[in-house]
Structure 1
């Protein structure tokens, strides 16, 4: 594992899921030979990449247990992609991360941001409909 002296950056992560797998992508260009550890409850990633070859590290504590033996990953030119098998097939996880500390302010902000992003297109469509007769 790389030396963690507080200088490592946190990479951007995207994820999606099915009822049996989690698709996780660590967005880090030109990452060669990253250190990756996948256990039943977490993913630990460390690697150098990006334009300046800086050190990036992250530990992802999963919402529920996964099956590391049936999971796989691939290091690509622009990212590191994971297909992580869930230990239990079932309903979708409400979130990727396990909540060790309940931070209601943070989760409320995320919900508000999502709601704000969803509302403007409706308003724009309504205002566009109203504007059309004015243009004629």
Structure 2
């Protein structure tokens, strides 16, 4: 069963996932996990490790909806979690979900920082990509900084005219602002 293994059951760590046409991106968000046990197969991933705020053991087994290529897949253990780039066995259509089971698990969420819609024609994510770099985009746009502004005349535009005074009404009513 997904989320538990063997006779001893530990809580499942938070898992984030995203995909593109050729890969599935997973992050097991177990902080400060040292030397986790990872078993990656074509149809599943088993993760067991100790970490988090309380340094408690966590364990999860994910049975994928479609097969992956374990030999072409990679992972790296980082202080904020373990990140996986899993190569899909058949690149092409997006998976409608990550797991074989249709049950929604509270510990499994979409990683919207890496998510790419199936119909997007833009660049696909590369390994370790965060789904785009806003600063790089702004740098490439160029010409938007204050240094590139033409010298402006502080006196204003030449078409500025003085605004005429308001005319008083002829109906004999008093101006409320003068009372």
Same fold (TM over 0.5): yes
Q: Deviations over 1:78-109 (max 9, x none)?
A: 1100000000011000000013xx66xx59xx
Tell me how far 1:3 sits from its aligned partner. 7.9
Q: What is the aligned length?
A: 101
Determine the C-alpha separation between the residues in 1 that align with 2:93 and 2:52: 36
Equivalent in the alignment of 1:24: 26
Equivalent in the alignment of 1:120: none
Determine the C-alpha separation between the residues in 2 that align with 1:23 and 1:38: 14
Moved over 4 A (4+): none
More helix as a share of residues: 1
TM-score by length of 2: 0.53
Equivalent in the alignment of 2:78: 76
SS in 2 for 1:88: coil
Tell me how far 1:9 sits from its aligned partner. 1.2
Write out aligned runs for 1:93-108 (5 A).
Answer: 93-99=95-101
Give the unaligned 5+ runs of structure 1. 108-136
TM-score by length of 1: 0.69
SS in 2 for 1:73: strand
Alignment root-mean-square deviation, CA: 2.0
Tell me how far 1:46 sits from its aligned partner. 0.1
More strand as a share of residues: 1
Write out aligned runs for 1:46-85 (5 A).
Answer: 46-85=48-87
